[in-house]
């Protein structure tokens, strides 16, 4: 059983790949919330632990939801995946989902019981996503609407993660200015989503609707660049709220031009595996952007540098 789960995580939810980005996401969310409230010291360990563990489980639940809603397509077009080939059953994943819920609930009650309200809201949206909002065929025919409705989970997860900072203080509403950080999460989710579904023609799979297949390679890359620009714009505004606008502007410009270079390299020729460079760049972008928007400014302020 342990070997089966280890194989499953390696193929569908690689811990060593996802953990650094989720840690950057959650710690920066908590730090940004503290900074926007006017706090200039590192958050306590307890909110950080709850934020990271809860976020990690939210993203795991997203992967489990994919296994349920994509079962028919996976069985038909991707029989090599763990569930269609019988490595892990949907029953096993259902128990794992239930375990995630129990752990998240226990963490919320441990930190601040009022977090349960936001937890229920996020679970509700996750449940609707797993059912494709009961409009699977309609959404599948509209890729942009499909992506937007699914990426809306990102601000919800982010709201919950930041709440690990502001709810324990007794606040009944998010701090002023947090909306910009939530918008960053929304558009950055699309950066990652589009980036991981851009492929060379040789790497396209039958039945897999990548954005390079739906829109063409050039249009998909341009859409990716557009989402990068939107994310950068909102990140700059969010950074102004914590007095870190100039450093993040410089970083995002460097990252954006690097992403442009990666996109141009991808478009230069229909070479197998080049789409992996776009996916990797999206991951680097997310990691550095989140760190520079919350955790790094907090550490610099703690050290008296900023």
Q: Where does the pLDDT of residue 17 fall: very low under 50, low under 70, confident under 90, or very high at 90 and above?
A: confident
**Residue for token digits 């297949």?**
213
Question: According to the model, what pLDDT value does residue 41 have?
Answer: 84
The whole-number average pLDDT for the span 206-217 is: 90
**pTM for the whole thing?**
0.93
pLDDT digit string, tens, across residues 195-209: 999 999 999 988 888
The whole-number average pLDDT for the span 262-274 is: 93
The whole-number average pLDDT for the span 174-184 is: 95
- Residue 180's domain comprises 15-302
pLDDT digit string, tens, across residues 90-120: 999 999 999 999 999 999 999 999 999 999 9
Residue 304 has pLDDT above 80, yes or no: no
b (16+ CB within 10 A) / e for 190-202: bbbbbbbbbbbee
Percent of the chain, pLDDT > 90? 83
Establish if 135 belongs to a structural domain: yes
Residue 225 has pLDDT above 70, yes or no: yes
Q: Where does the pLDDT of residue 306 fall: very low under 50, low under 70, confident under 90, or very high at 90 and above?
A: low
Establish if 5 belongs to a structural domain: no
The whole-number average pLDDT for the span 139-157 is: 92
HEC sequence for the chain: CHHHHHHHHHHHCCHHHHHHHHHHHHHHHHHHHHHHCCCCCCCCHHHHHHHHHHHHHHHHHHHHHHHHHCHHHHHHHCCCCCCCCCCCCHHHHHHHHHHHHHHHHHHHHHHCCCHHHHHHHHHHHHHHHHCHHHCHHHHHCCHHHHHHHHHCHHHHHHHHHHHHHHCCCCCCCCCCCHHHHHHHHHHHHHHHHHHCCCCCHHHCCCCCCCHHHHHCHHHHHHHHHHHHHHHHHHHHHHHHCCCCHHHHHHHHHHHHHHHHHHHHHHHCCCCCCCHHHHHHHHHHHHHHHHHHHHHHHHHHHHCCCC
The whole-number average pLDDT for the span 60-76 is: 91
Establish if 2 belongs to a structural domain: no
Establish if 258 belongs to a structural domain: yes
Establish if 4 belongs to a structural domain: no
Residue 221 has pLDDT above 90, yes or no: yes
Establish if 264 belongs to a structural domain: yes
CATH number at residue 68: 1.10.600
- Please tell me the total count of domains within the chain: 1
Q: Where does the pLDDT of residue 302 fall: very low under 50, low under 70, confident under 90, or very high at 90 and above?
A: confident
Establish if 254 belongs to a structural domain: yes
Residue 303 has pLDDT above 90, yes or no: no
Establish if 3 belongs to a structural domain: no
């Amino acid at each position: 059983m342990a070997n089966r789960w280890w194989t499953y995580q390696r193929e569908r939810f690689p811990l060593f790949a996802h953990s650094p980005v989720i840690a950057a996401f959650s710690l920066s969310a908590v730090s940004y919330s503290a900074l926007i409230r006017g706090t200039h010291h590192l958050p306590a360990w307890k909110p950080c632990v709850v934020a990271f563990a809860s976020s990690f489980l939210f993203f795991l639940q997203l992967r489990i939801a994919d296994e349920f809603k994509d079962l028919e397509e996976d069985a038909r077009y991707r029989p090599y995946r763990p569930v269609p080939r019988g490595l892990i059953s949907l029953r096993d994943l259902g128990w794992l989902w239930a375990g995630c819920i129990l752990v998240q609930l226990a963490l919320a009650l441990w930190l601040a019981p009022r977090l349960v309200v936001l937890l229920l809201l996020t679970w509700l949206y996750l449940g609707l996503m797993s059912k494709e909002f009961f409009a699977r065929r309609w959404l599948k025919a509209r890729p942009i609407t499909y992506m937007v409705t699914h990426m809306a989970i990102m601000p919800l997860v982010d709201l919950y993660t930041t709440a690990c900072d502001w709810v324990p203080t007794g606040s009944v509403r998010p701090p002023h200015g947090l909306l910009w950080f939530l918008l960053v999460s929304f558009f950055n989710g699309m950066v990652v989503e589009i980036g991981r579904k851009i492929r060379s023609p040789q790497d396209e799979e039958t039945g897999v609707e990548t954005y390079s297949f739906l829109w063409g390679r050039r249009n998909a890359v341009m859409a990716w660049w557009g989402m990068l620009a939107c994310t950068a714009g909102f990140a700059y505004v969010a950074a102004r709220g914590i007095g870190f606008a100039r450093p993040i502007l410089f970083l995002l410009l460097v990252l954006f031009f690097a992403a442009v270079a990666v996109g141009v390299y991808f478009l230069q020729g229909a070479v197998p595996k080049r789409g992996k460079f776009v996916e990797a760049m999206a991951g680097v972008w997310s990691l550095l952007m989140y760190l520079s928007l919350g955790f790094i400014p907090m550490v610099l302020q703690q050290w008296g540098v900023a």
